[in-house]
Amino acid sequence: MPYRYPLILLLVTVVWGMTFPVLKVATGVLSGVEITTLRFCIAALCMLPFVRGISAAAWRDGFWLGALALFSMAAQAYGLQFIASNRSAFLTSLNVLMVPLLGLLLGARPGWLIFVAAAMACLGIGMMSYDGEAHLVADAATLLAALAYAVYTMGMSARARLHKAVHLASAQVWCMAAMGLVWMLLDSGPARVLSLPEAVNLEVLLGLLFLGALASAAAFFLQAMAQTHVSAEQAAIIYAMEPVFAAIFGWIYLTEVMTPMAQVGALVVVVAVVLSQRPGAVQTGSTADTLNAYPPPK
């Protein structure tokens, strides 16, 4: 089934889209740092049975991939304090275009159709999220988040094929949980951390379980498995569907309404994803092949 692995990544993106209403509820009680850390602590517990047997190389790759993902989330969360969520969604989506451009700088030769699809995806998300005023520092932080996730996507496609998916996912999740705990202690302080069990109600707890078990542990495993067979360029464009699914679930659970322009933008993103999966979209010498020629960070 040639479309099996793109469909798995699309399923991951559906789950990520579902996280938006869950996060919106959780932010009424917890900070972004606390939500991120707690979700990965839960994910780490879910992945505990698979920690045994992880090689040193998988721990190394899991550490730097996890650091990139955590930095991306942190930078995006910081930017969201000052700019509208729809502006953040558009700026973050630029990672779709950054992946093939970074690939070119590294000597990869992605097909021209990938650039067309990436540009269409950015245009579509721009139509979906046309709102909000600029904020220099927040915009810069969000663009850094997009760049970090672009590098993460490229690294995942390059390194996933070298490890068992469950081992790479477990290493990432455990490294992110450890780094997140340090981050939360520095940001919230020990007194606030100790009071968290009293602050978390049943609704927020169920949301954290969803974020940790499905949107983190299961999603990271499926992502590591699928990106063994899907190029970084194609994966990035599939991930551009996240704001589309977020808008759908926002409409279902939060009664948020999409404007006609946003609906057209969502359609443009869907067309871009279909284009990215056409034969010949990625030529030989893809970004993942190029990155495999280089050792990962020590």
DSSP the chain: -TTHHHHHHHHHHHHHHHHHHHHHHHTTTS-HHHHHHHHHHHHHHHTGGG-TT--HHHHHHHHHHHHHHHHHHHHHHHHHTTS-HHHHHHHHHTHHHHHHHHHHHTT----HHHHHHHHHHHHHHHHHT------HHHHHHHHHHHHHHHHHHHHHHHHGGGS-HHHHHHHHHHHHHHHHHHHHHHHH-HHHHHTHHHH--HHHHHHHHIIIIIIIIIHHHHHHHHTTTS-HHHHHHHHTTHHHHHHHHHHHHH-----HHHHHHHHHHHHHHHHHTSTTSS-SS-HHHHHHTSPPP-
The pLDDT assigned to 252 comes to: 77
Q: What is the mean pLDDT of each run of 10 residues along the chain (298 residues)?
A: 81 85 80 87 94 93 93 80 68 77 74 77 74 72 88 88 91 94 92 90 92 91 86 79 76 72 78 69 52 42
The pLDDT assigned to 133 comes to: 59
